[in-house]
Amino acid sequence: MFTKKVLIITNIIFGVIILILAYILLFTGTELVKTPDDNRIVVKYAPDLRELVLNEMRDYLEVMNEIQIGLAQNDPDMIVKAATRQGDLSLQETPIRLLKLSPIPCKTMGFKGHDIFQAIADSAKVNFNRTTTINQLAELTNNCVVCHRTYKIELE
Ligand code: HEC
């Protein structure tokens, strides 16, 4: 009788320990941190659209990196090749759905970014001048910054 009770109590203690460990493993350290001064406008996209936009954003960063390497190595061909990837042609791949769901200033900044990528490619091709490319990059980065300050994406 006594050993049965001890066994039950030991099992309960063991179970509680497992639960506490599972809680620590699964739920701590992953809490969402809310920044109190985040007053960006929320744009809602379906999961596939959000994925598409963020994927494109990561490519912007890669293209900018390639342009910077091109500048450092004085290699206009590399700049033309990289910037063209996000230039006018890339606009043709923009789904209409994305345009419909995006506020007008957001769309405008999106188009402006592609325009500047195209301008970087064009001027590096026709008459490469490092200062021109650097100035264009500064204008481009400013466009990224303004949009990031204004909008954030949440799932629809
Ligand atoms: C039209 C507005 C807009 C422009 C222009 C823009 N972005 Fe973004 N970008 C966003 C939004 C919105 C997010 C999501 C931010 C969030 O939800 O917190 C984002 C996210 C990102 C991310 C994170 C991607 C990920 O996987 O989470 C990167 C990197 C990024 N942008 C790079 C850039 C760069 C570089 C430029 C300029 C060449 C740029 N973006 C221009 C709106 C923009």
Residues of the chain with pLDDT under 50: none
Structural tokens at position 116: 């500047």
Based on the domain organization, do 10 and 68 belong to the same domain? Answer: no
Q: Are residues 52 and 12 in the same domain?
A: no
Pocket test for ligand 1, best of 144, 152, 153 (most atoms within 8 A of CB): 144
pLDDT at 88: 95
User: What is the reported pLDDT for 5?
Assistant: 86
Residue 36 domain-assigned?
no
Supply the pLDDT for residue 30: 62
Range of the domain at 3: 1-31
Q: Which residue is closest in CA terms to ligand 1's atom 12?
A: 152
pLDDT tens string 46-90: 999 999 999 999 999 999 999 999 999 999 999 999 999 999 999
Question: What are the contacts of 90-95 at 24+ separation with CB within 8 A?
Answer: 90/114, 90/117, 95/49, 95/52
Q: Is the CB–ligand 1 distance for residue 52 below 6 Å?
A: no
Q: Number of folded domains in the chain?
A: 2
CA of 54 to the centre of ligand 1 (A): 7
> Do the bridges between strand 151-155 and strand 41-45 make them parallel or antiparallel, or are there none, so unpaired?
parallel
